[in-house]
Amino acid sequence: MSRRVKCQNSDRYQVVHVGWSNKRRVYSCVLHLDIIDGKIWIQHDGTEGGIALELIEARLWRC
């Protein structure tokens, strides 16, 4: 199961996989973004296609 996590005190966002697989606990960070001084910082990108291109296409990020 995937969950979105947003830090209450800052602009930190994560998508994580949590749950169980074959009686084992599963937890992994798929995506971690921070907004620092109005800029999006990609701290970790474990997505298939990469989030950077999607942010550029949405005009939310510049190279």
Which residue, chain included where needed, has tokens 């969950």?
A: 3
Could you tell me the CATH number of the domain that includes residue 14? Answer: 3.30.310.110
Is 36 inside a domain boundary?
yes
What pLDDT score does 41 carry?
94
19-53 tens-digit pLDDT = 999 999 999 999 999 999 988 999 999 999 899 98
CA-CA-CA-CA torsion for 2, 53, 39, 28, nearest 10 degrees? 20
pLDDT at 14: 95
Does the residue 17 lie in any domain?
yes
Residue 63 lies in a domain: no
pTM of the entire structure? 0.78
Domain membership of residue 18 (yes or no) is yes
Residue 60: its pLDDT value, please? 78
**Domain, as residue range, for 52:** 2-57
Q: Is residue 50 part of a domain?
A: yes
Tokens representing residue 19 in the block:
């749950």
Residue 62 in this model has a pLDDT that exceeds 70: no
Q: Is residue 28 part of a domain?
A: yes
